[in-house]
Amino acid sequence: MQLDSARGLKRALIETVLTPFVSVGPQVKILAVPAGPVAGVSPVQPSIAVGIGRKAGHEFQIAVRCQRRELMTGKEVEQIRRKAKNEVDVRYIGPVSKRAAPWTQLRHRPLQIGISTGHVKVTAGTLGAFVRKRGGTDPHILSNNHVLANENRAKTGDAIIQAGTYDGGADPADRIAALAGMARLRKTEPNAVDAAIGKLDDALEFDPRTIRGLGKLAGLGAAFVDEGTEVAKLGRTTGLTRGRVTAFELDNVVVTFDIGPLRFDGQIEIEGADDGPFSRGGDSGSLIVEANTRLAVALLFAGTEAGGENDQGLTYANPLRSVLDALKVDLVAE
Amino acid sequence: MAESHAHTLDEVRAAKSRALAVFEPLAAVVGVGITRIGDGYGLKVNLREPPPSDTRLPTEVDGVPVRLEVVGQPRKQ
DSSP string, A292-303: TT-EEEEEEEEE
CA distances in angstroms from A171 to A118, A121, A162, A283, listed in the order given: 11, 10, 9, 22
Burial class from Cβ neighbours inside 10 Å (0-12, 13-18, 19+) for residue A220 reads middle
- CA–CA dist A269, A272 (Å, integer): 10
**pLDDT on residue B65:** 97
**pLDDT on residue A20:** 62
**pLDDT on residue A27:** 45
Task: Give the residue with greater pLDDT, A29 vs B29.
Answer: B29
To the nearest 10 degrees (0 to 180), the angle between helices A3-15 and A75-83 is: 150
Chain B residues touching residue A145 (CB < 8 angstroms): none
- Are B74 and A304 a contacting pair at CB < 8 A? yes
Low-confidence ranges of chain A (pLDDT < 70): 20-31, 39-46, 98
- Please tell me whether residue B66 adopts helix, strand or coil conformation: strand
- Are A307 and B77 a contacting pair at CB < 8 A? no
**pLDDT on residue A73:** 87
| Residue B76 included in any domain | no
| Residue B63 included in any domain | yes
- CA–CA dist A271, A278 (Å, integer): 6
- Are B69 and A313 a contacting pair at CB < 8 A? no
Comparing C-alpha atoms, which of A309, A302, A29, A290 is closest to residue A167? A29
| Residue B75 included in any domain | no
DSSP A85-120: TT-EEEEE-----PPPPPGGGS--SSEETT-EEEET
B33, B70, B73 member nearest A250 (Cβ): B33
| DSSP label at residue A209 | S
Residue B2 in contact with partner chain A when CB distance is under 8 A: no
Burial class from Cβ neighbours inside 10 Å (0-12, 13-18, 19+) for residue A192 reads middle
Residue of B nearest to A237 (CA): B77
Comparing C-alpha atoms, which of B52, B69, B74, B66 is closest to residue A252? B74
| Residue B16 included in any domain | yes
- Domains: count for chain B: 1
Comparing C-alpha atoms, which of A271, A231, A224, A229 is closest to residue A249? A224
Quote the percentage of chain B above a pLDDT of 90: 84
Contact of A265 with A188, CB cutoff 8 Å? no
| Residue B57 included in any domain | yes
Contact of B57 with B25, CB cutoff 8 Å? no
| Residue B46 included in any domain | yes
**pLDDT on residue A88:** 94
**pLDDT on residue A125:** 98
- Are A246 and B44 a contacting pair at CB < 8 A? yes
Domains in chain A with CATH codes: 3-92 (no CATH), 103-207 (2.40.10.10), 211-328 (2.40.10.10)
| Residue B77 included in any domain | no
- Please tell me whether residue B67 adopts helix, strand or coil conformation: strand
Phi, psi of B35 (to 5 degrees): -140, 180
Residue of B nearest to A265 (CA): B31
**pLDDT on residue A29:** 52
Task: Give the residue with greater pLDDT, B31 vs A75.
Answer: B31
Comparing C-alpha atoms, which of A97, A96, A8 is closest to residue A52? A8
| Residue B26 included in any domain | yes
Residue A34 in contact with partner chain B when CB distance is under 8 A: yes
Residue of B nearest to A282 (CA): B77
Containing structural domain, residue B48: 9-70
- CA–CA dist A105, A163 (Å, integer): 6
Please compute Rg for chain B using Cα positions. 13
Q: Which residues contact A25 (CB under 8 A, 6 or more apart)?
A: A43, A44, A45, A46, A47
- CA–CA dist A54, A66 (Å, integer): 18
Q: Which residues pair with A219 in a beta bridge?
A: A295
**pLDDT on residue A28:** 43
Comparing C-alpha atoms, which of A147, A148, A145 is closest to residue A200? A148
Q: Which residues contact A229 (CB under 8 A, 6 or more apart)?
A: A244, A245, A290, A297
Burial class from Cβ neighbours inside 10 Å (0-12, 13-18, 19+) for residue A189 reads exposed
The complex scores an ipTM of: 0.95
- CA–CA dist A73, A59 (Å, integer): 25
**pLDDT on residue A131:** 98
Mean pLDDT (chain A, rounded): 92
